[in-house]
């Protein structure tokens, strides 16, 4: 079969996933033999979403955890975004580790994730925090947490008209959505951070209390999820978590939920919550995650 080439340089190799507004493939840069990620969207679709995503990556470039853009343009019947290739997502790694992360791994993830979100918030609201959109790097960047897929991201506006917006369509992922998102209110910085809190608790619990709720249609399901979230405080969400109480996580949830539209989060306070717990547990910043240990045992023929 003849190779599919982009700009005569980037070879499309195999499908690796589907992101917002496009299908993602792994590929090879034939100029230097480096691996790349290639996102394709058919030209018959509106190219603005992919073009805006490419622009967002470029605006965020230069900071740790943001994949590099190599090329964006039209090739044949597709719009194409060529990016730095990354490793597995946190959802993939969660499954690999038996759907439970240790406290140390969760705290390491939290520290990097808050920093990524703070940087993003200097430019846009992300609006779809979930494990699938956080990927680990590869090679020398293997311990760095990256964030991808800015298809739902948009600039924040503090204009008075946005403060009163109600009845907005739901956007993002139901499992991790903020309560304000469920209520049809305009989102702000705190909503991204609230979603991150649910993601961290998902890693600690193995699932969230609103998973598995049954409904005939999506709107009914989202309403059930919203009601469940609203009935559970941060403390109740963290109750009975092992190996120890997740006090910091409860404070995190309650703090992010308390932020009003336009309130600028104290990112330093949130990072410090988790860093203090990390230090009190005697953990070391050695970049040894749960999957690092599991891979080591497998590589050396040991049973983990």
Catalytic residues: 128
Residue 204: enclosing H or E segment and its boundaries?
helix 189-205
Closest CA to 136 of 71, 181, 183, 92: 92
Distance, in Å, from the CA atom of 73 to the CA atom of 303, rounded to the nearest integer, reads: 48
Preceding omega of 243 cis (within 30 degrees of 0):
yes
Distance, in Å, from the CA atom of 106 to the CA atom of 68, rounded to the nearest integer, reads: 26
Distance, in Å, from the CA atom of 66 to the CA atom of 119, rounded to the nearest integer, reads: 10
* Residue 107, token pair as written in the block: 């705290």
Any binding-site annotation on 39? yes
Closest CA to 273 of 249, 293, 257: 249
Question: In the block, which residue shows the tokens 């599919």?
Answer: 4
CB atoms within 10 A of CB 158: 9
What does residue 10 show for φ and ψ, rounded to 5 degrees?
A: -100, 115
Distance, in Å, from the CA atom of 155 to the CA atom of 169, rounded to the nearest integer, reads: 17
Size of the chain, expressed as the number of residues it contains: 304
Determine the distance from the C-alpha atom of residue 95 to the mean position of all C-alpha atoms in its chain, rounded to a whole number: 16
If DSSP codes are grouped into helix, strand and coil, which group holds residue 34?
Answer: strand
Q: How far apart are the first and last CA of the chain?
A: 42
Buried b (16+ CB within 10 A) or exposed e, 101-114: bbbbbbbbbbbbbb
Are 178 and 230 in contact by the 8 Å Cβ rule? The answer is no
Task: Pick out the residues of the known binding site.
Answer: 39
Task: Please report, in range form, the residues annotated as the binding site for ATP.
Answer: 39
């Amino acid at each position: 079969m003849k190779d599919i080439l982009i700009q005569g340089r980037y070879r499309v190799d195999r499908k690796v996933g589907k992101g917002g507004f496009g299908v993602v493939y792994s590929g090879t840069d034939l100029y230097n033999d480096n691996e790349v990620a290639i996102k394709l969207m058919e030209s018959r679709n509106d190219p603005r979403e992919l073009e805006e995503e490419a622009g967002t990556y470029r605006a965020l470039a230069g900071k740790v955890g943001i994949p590099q853009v190599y090329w964006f343009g039209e090739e044949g019947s597709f719009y194409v975004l060529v990016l730095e290739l990354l490793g597995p997502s946190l959802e993939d790694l969660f499954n690999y580790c038996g759907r439970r992360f240790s406290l140390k791994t969760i705290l390491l993830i939290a520290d990097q994730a808050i920093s990524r979100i703070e940087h993003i918030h200097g430019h846009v609201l992300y609006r779809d925090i979930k494990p699938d959109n956080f990927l680990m790097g590869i090679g020398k960047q293997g311990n760095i947490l990256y964030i991808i897929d800015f298809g739902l991201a948009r600039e924040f506006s503090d204009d008075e008209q946005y403060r009163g917006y109600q009845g907005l369509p739901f956007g993002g992922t139901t499992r991790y959505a903020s309560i304000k998102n469920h209520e049809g209110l305009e989102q702000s910085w705190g909503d991204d951070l609230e979603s991150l809190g649910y993601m961290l608790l998902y890693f600690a619990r193995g699932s969230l209390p609103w998973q598995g709720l049954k409904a005939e249609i999506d709107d009914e399901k989202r309403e059930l999820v919203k009601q469940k979230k609203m009935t559970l405080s941060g403390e109740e969400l963290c109750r009975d978590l092992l190996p120890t109480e997740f006090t910091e996580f409860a404070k995190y949830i309650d703090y992010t939920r308390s932020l009003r539209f336009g309130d600028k989060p104290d990112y330093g306070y949130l990072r410090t919550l988790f860093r203090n717990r990390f230090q009190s547990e005697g953990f070391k910043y050695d970049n040894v995650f749960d999957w690092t240990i599991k891979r080591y045992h497998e590589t050396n023929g040991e049973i983990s």
